[in-house]
Homo-oligomer: A and B are copies of this chain.
């Protein structure tokens, strides 16, 4: 049983609190949020035991601090944690970008024992009110250690006890893979909604009515939290830009094939991608 602090008990943070308790991993959970409505909600759901509006000396009671806020806030939060903590407390997180942990100021905090992590879980909703006790069940969690600390094993075991499959990789490999499997789909989902409604302002009602033909499913993830995704896009800028470049080229290629009516090559692309997609479907 650990003493825990959760900074930002929102969709993921509050689910983590609930799940730590379910698996008898947490003794007492401090929760901190500048959004007092969300803070109260997390407390009322028992995702946290004690509610705080700012980071303070209470964090020093914790064995582990989980930072669960948008990645753009990490700089400030880690600086603040550095004032109160010693290396006996492990600082982990659930952010979707990991490369910045290799850079200043993150590689330079004297009092922080950092083990970066990323449970691949979530929904298009946000906030403690949408948290779920089974959010992490049978999903993957990626840890991206930045040193050889023994604390990696502690964090690994916690996620495993919560029925996650854990993989360890470098922060850069994580960011490259996520730029493809998560960040690009979100970028497209955010973009296509705008494209649709700018294209045919007169046909807005028809667009809404007939969105069942692919559009509705496709844009579901486009309603995810704007601040969280804004931060991800900026923090993973390098890999996102190169992935976007490649996707743009592939789309231009298919556009050219349609323009020149290259029937054979179009059919080949569609067949090949159906095969890959079928492999994905077979994964649990």
Contact flags A181-196 to B (C-beta < 8 A → 1, else 0): 1111111111111111
Interface, chain A (partner B; CB < 8 A): 96, 120-122, 139-140, 142, 167, 169, 173, 176-178, 180-200, 203, 206-224, 226-227, 229-230, 233-234, 237, 240-241, 243-248, 250-252, 254-255, 258-259, 261, 263, 266-267, 269-274, 276-281, 283
Q: Which residues of B contact A226 (CB under 8 A)?
A: 267, 270-271, 274
CA gap between A169 and B195 in the complex, in Å: 22
List 17 interface pairs A-B (beta carbons < 8 Å), by A numbering: A96-B213, A120-B213, A122-B213, A140-B212, A181-B210, A185-B213, A188-B218, A194-B250, A209-B283, A217-B220, A222-B273, A222-B277, A223-B281, A227-B267, A230-B266, A234-B263, A244-B258
Quickly give the copy total for this chain.
2
Which residue from B198, B207, B247 sits with its C-beta under 8 Å from A195?
B247
Are B248 and A251 closer than 8 Å at their CB atoms?
yes
CA gap between A186 and B243 in the complex, in Å: 19
State the main secondary structure of chain A at its contact with B: helix
CA gap between A234 and B262 in the complex, in Å: 9
CA gap between A243 and B268 in the complex, in Å: 23
Are B248 and A206 closer than 8 Å at their CB atoms?
no
- Decide yes or no: A273 and B193 within 8 Å by CB, A208-B279, A251-B248, A267-B226 being known contacts: yes
Are A140 and B270 closer than 8 Å at their CB atoms?
no
Are B274 and A140 closer than 8 Å at their CB atoms?
no
Are A194 and B272 closer than 8 Å at their CB atoms?
yes
Query: Which residue of B has the minimal Cβ distance to A272?
Result: B194
Are B185 and A215 closer than 8 Å at their CB atoms?
yes
Are A251 and B259 closer than 8 Å at their CB atoms?
no
9 nearest A-B residue pairs (beta carbon): A182-B213, A226-B270, A185-B214, A181-B215, A223-B277, A193-B273, A185-B218, A182-B214, A195-B247
CA gap between A212 and B209 in the complex, in Å: 28
CB distance from A191 to the nearest CB of B (A): 5
- Decide yes or no: A277 and B140 within 8 Å by CB, A203-B173, A206-B173 being known contacts: no
Q: Which residues of B contact A271 (CB under 8 A)?
A: 226
Q: Which residues of B contact A283 (CB under 8 A)?
A: 208-209, 211, 216
Are A270 and B230 closer than 8 Å at their CB atoms?
yes
Are B181 and A266 closer than 8 Å at their CB atoms?
no
Q: Which residues of B contact A263 (CB under 8 A)?
A: 230, 234
- Decide yes or no: A192 and B247 within 8 Å by CB, A216-B280, A223-B274 being known contacts: yes
Are A190 and B270 closer than 8 Å at their CB atoms?
yes
CB distance from A187 to the nearest CB of B (A): 7
Are B176 and A200 closer than 8 Å at their CB atoms?
yes
